[in-house]
Structure 1
Amino acid sequence: MSDSDANKAIVRRYFEMFNSGDLTQLADIVSQDYGDKLDGQSSGIDVIRGYLEGLKSSFPDFTWTIEQIIGEGDRVAVMNRVSGTQVNDFGEIKATGNRIDFAAFQFYRIADGKLAEHWEVADFAKFQEQLTAKPAASAFKAFQNTLKG
């Protein structure tokens, strides 16, 4: 197995672990100083454990579905769908029972056979809109509408 294939297998294992809700293998997959570059997120395995547990608490059926995965060297890129149903509070958003489904792009760096760093770009505006059932204001949508006129 090539390094790229081995690295993609680690990312797949991480997604499978999260989807199952069993985080007991987290230390086998994620480095102790795991650097999550998501805005506002701190580094460390305990931080990511709390983050993942919080997501599963708010959305017990939260699922990450890999649509495309590409690996090169120590990097793995994933296009995925994120879906689930909010049955408990999510931060300050009270439980809505709403189903969410949006696209995300994950980028991982692998070191010593573990996830070392993570970057993410996701459709958080759609996520917010689906939770609150209020269309999110979007400068880009407004711009597109001006082009149609």
Structure 2
Amino acid sequence: MHDIEANKALVRRYFDMFNSGDLAALPDIVSQDYGDKLEGQASGIEVIRSYLLGLKASFPDFTWTIEQIVAEGDRVAVMNRVSGTHLHDFGGMAATGNRVDFAAFQIYRIEAGRLAEHWEVADFAKFQEQLGASPQATAFKAFQAELPGGKSGAAA
């Protein structure tokens, strides 16, 4: 039997830890072989430690704000806001001073009282746009522009 409330509390603790910038509790919160399913990211606690420290280095005020949290079995799903100010280099991009604010959806799998796996879908296009990077045009964006009220200004 899974303790749904304990699982949600663990995810809240993870978010609070990241927001504070103090990762000392990371080994108590994530498993040693933590599997982050973000595209191109390897597994392991040291990878996630480096990832979190890198985010905070580039965006010192980066904050994850939980808007909704639900749990079932060993899974916890979170809809959250991500916000912060780009004050130091990030992914080869010099600091812009721009503020970012975008939505993210995460699912965590809990095992033995620790976060074991993580999946995420986030509005990375909005993130890039807010940094001033021109995201590549996509068929979906072109499609959206053609809709009534789209950015092309076409009326229905």
- Tell me the TM-score range normalised by the shorter chain: over 0.9
1:65 matched to which residue of 2?
65
Mapping of residues 132-147 of structure 1, within 5 Å: 132=132, 134=134, 137-147=137-147
Give the TM-score normalised by structure 1: 0.95
Shift of 1:59: 0.2
Mapping of residues 26-105 of structure 1, within 5 Å: 26-105=26-105
Task: Deviation per CA, 1:57-110: give whole Å up to 9, x if none.
Answer: 000000000000000000000000000001000021110000000000000000
Is the contact between residue 84 and residue 101 of structure 1 (CA under 8 Å) also seen in structure 2?
A: yes
Give the TM-score normalised by structure 2: 0.91
In 2, Cα distance between equivalents of 1:47 and 1:37: 12
Shift of 1:134: 3.9
> Which has the higher Rg, Structure 1 or Structure 2?
2
Task: Deviation per CA, 1:91-131: give whole Å up to 9, x if none.
Answer: 21110000000000000000000000000000000000001
Where 2:76 maps in the other structure, the secondary structure is strand
Is the contact between residue 128 and residue 136 of structure 1 (CA under 8 Å) also seen in structure 2?
A: no
Higher fraction of helix: 1
In 1, Cα distance between equivalents of 2:91 and 2:79: 26
Report % sequence identity.
76
State the superposition RMSD in angstroms. Answer: 1.3
In 2, Cα distance between equivalents of 1:70 and 1:140: 30
| Larger mean Cα displacement after TM superposition, 5-14 or 135-144 | 135-144
Where 1:89 maps in the other structure, the secondary structure is coil
Equivalent pairs, count = 148
Alignment gaps of 5+ in structure 2: 149-153
In 2, Cα distance between equivalents of 1:5 and 1:51: 27
- Deviation beyond 6 Å, 4+ runs, structure 1: none
